Amino acid sequence: MSANQSPAGKQPTATYDSAFLRACRREPVPHTPVWFMRQAGRSLPEYLKVREGIPMLESCMRPELVAEITLQPVRRHGVDAAIYFSDIVVPLKAIGIDLDIKPGVGPVVANPIRTRADLARLRDLTPEDVSYVTEAYGLLTRELGATPLIGFAGAPFTLASYLVEGGPSRNHEHTKALMYGDPQLWADLLDRLADITAAFLKVQIEAGASAVQLFDSWVGALSPADYRRSVMPASSKVFEAVAGYGVPRIHFGVGTGELLGLMGEAGADVVGVDWRVPMDEAARRVGPGKALQGNLDPAVLFSTRQAVESKTREILDAAADLDGHIFNLGHGVLPTTDPDALTRLVEHVHTRTAR
């Protein structure tokens, strides 16, 4: 049973009629809903205070700390949805991959996966591996009430990139070398990661997630033909695995303007758009039947209040004819963003779009 549905004969849950979930379903909304990727994190002084001295991965495994960090932007900004505080490599750590998140670098894998023998290190993920996730969701859903909670996971391609490269990469040379040079091993790797990712999303949905987002942060490095052939089957497998829960499925990547239609085709109900493509053009590329999410450039928030409002109006005007639009940034909140700028942005979008 999903967080948006209830057994036959009973009323839907408190989140069902929220502006966020209505927009995901492309239904009329009282205002355009707003949330921000990376809204829970480094831009908030209260986050820096509670995280002080605690490594990133450890902070993702402390249910009470996760709940507090997840709630902070909801309290401060009045956003229309919370997003679960975690990291895309958490399920990999949970199954025993030797990795760490190094400050200023990102996820670093001790022993990259590049051979068929390495696949054996990617065992199935069980709910017991991430029991702290279930516990944190229990704390959060009680506290959030009618505010939806978004679960998330890293998409198979992006997880594969970290595993194959050994960490973040500008050119993804090892990843592409494997993808082109041994397509069967590549397909088997992504298929294994699809199973792990789907299992991680299922844990979150069954614990109370109202929607889930699949982050494919690095897939913009690929051409449409490579995406369709070498990535889309695994992403589709993830979306199909959670389809029966009835929660909206969001798909987002960076630099994916040429892939927007395929990302929707992979099985998403909502397609995230970065700032490089206007919302009306994104709608044309994606086609009918999908809601869209986005797409203010995060760097705009460092400009004047007038400039932020002007760029926001451009986005809202471009999205005016969409069946479903969720306002977001075109990527995550930058660490040095003024939190007050985010609070003002939420208020501006709500006021300007009030029906």
Known binding-site residues equal 38-42, 87, 162, 217, 331
Annotated catalytic residue, options 51, 76, 114, 249: 51
38 flagged as catalytic:
yes
51 flagged as catalytic:
yes
As annotated, the binding site for substrate includes 38-42, 87, 162, 217, 331
CA distance 286 to 50: 40
Annotated catalytic residue, options 22, 26, 38, 249: 38
Annotated catalytic residue, options 162, 216, 245, 269: 162
Annotated catalytic residue, options 17, 87, 188, 280: 87
Which residues belong to the active site? 38, 42, 51, 87, 162
